[in-house]
Amino acid sequence: MNPAGSIVCGVDHSSGARAAARFAAGLADRLALRLVVVYVVQPPIPQSELGMAARTDDYVVLQGLRNAGEKLLEEVAQELGPDRDVHSELRFGGASEALGAVAGSGDAELVVVGSRGLGSVGSLLLGSVSQRLAVHGPCPTVIVPESAAELGDAAIVCAVDDSEESRAALAAAATLAERLGATLVLAHAAGDDAPAGDGEELLSRLVAESGLGGSVERILLRGAAAEAIVGAATARRAGMIVIGSRGRGALASAALGSVSSAVATQAPCAVTIVRARYPGPADS
């Protein structure tokens, strides 16, 4: 991570977005990064695209949405502190695509968004914007529940297994912990029938591979992975969970891994989702 970089935070008119902005501001302060707050106007479908002549109403609605977004950005900047240097941007289009474009066009180290359920099962679903960013974003995505507190001196829990995505998450978590002066806790969830020695050997191997030595705590968990990881983070009063993600099955390129999605949905603290590989200049 580059100390001269930035944190991009997406906001809307929800209280959850305000909580994400506060978390992003605190994280930016701790990491000495610039804070970029982005509001995305999602234009209504114009009459012309519906096979009808464009109406004046279309432009009035669009201008109203723009004005509301500019006002929100001013309010968020004031709430974060009038003396804080906040760069605000208003974009048009799809929320996840616009946030990804802002992050990808600059030096963003993290994208921060709030988490809220959508659809008929509400709290059981991760918000579509946060999920799309976690899958397609140009850098790690931090998903912040409304109940999350600022990091403070709290530990960072990194969920690990024997995968490329897990190693990417561990590298990101170790860097964050070092820069924040936080305790890093590696947590591996093994099945109830798995030999304990296998999990302990994996944790030892990951610590050795990463060069962390004795500066990291290790926890071997039992049971369903997502529930065990969230439970351990809650018991440890962690300020953040870092976890790798990979899509599975036919929708691998479009779906967030089931464990990382469940952790982000259930965790009371911020969850940072890290992919094994992010697009470089040739992929943009």
* Contact assessment for residue 36 and residue 89, using Cβ atoms and an 8 Å cutoff: yes
Q: Is 211 exposed, middle or buried (0-12, 13-18, 19+ CB in 10 A)?
A: exposed
Contacts of 37 (CB under 8 A, 6+ apart): 9, 11, 21, 24, 73, 76, 77, 80, 86, 87, 88, 89
**Fold agreement (6-144, 156-274):** yes
What is the pTM for the complete model shown? 0.86
* Contact assessment for residue 162 and residue 140, using Cβ atoms and an 8 Å cutoff: no
Phi, psi of 217 (to 5 degrees): -90, 155
Q: Report domain extents, the chain.
A: 6-144, 156-274
Alpha-carbon distance of 55 to 173, in angstroms, equals 51
Alpha-carbon distance of 205 to 202, in angstroms, equals 5
Superfamily of the domain at 156-274 = HUPs (3.40.50.620)
* 3 state SS of 21: helix
* 3 state SS of 167: helix
pLDDT of the chain, 284 residues: tens digit per residue: 444 799 999 999 888 889 999 999 999 999 999 999 999 998 776 555 545 555 556 678 888 888 999 999 999 999 998 888 899 999 998 889 999 999 998 899 999 999 764 332 333 334 678 888 888 889 999 999 988 888 888 999 999 999 999 999 999 999 999 999 999 999 999 877 777 788 899 999 999 988 887 779 999 998 889 999 999 999 999 999 999 986 443 333 344 578 888 899 899 999 999 988 776 544 44
User: What CATH number was assigned to the domain covering residues 6-144?
Assistant: 3.40.50.620
Which residue, 223, 24, 225, 226, is CA-closest to 124?
226
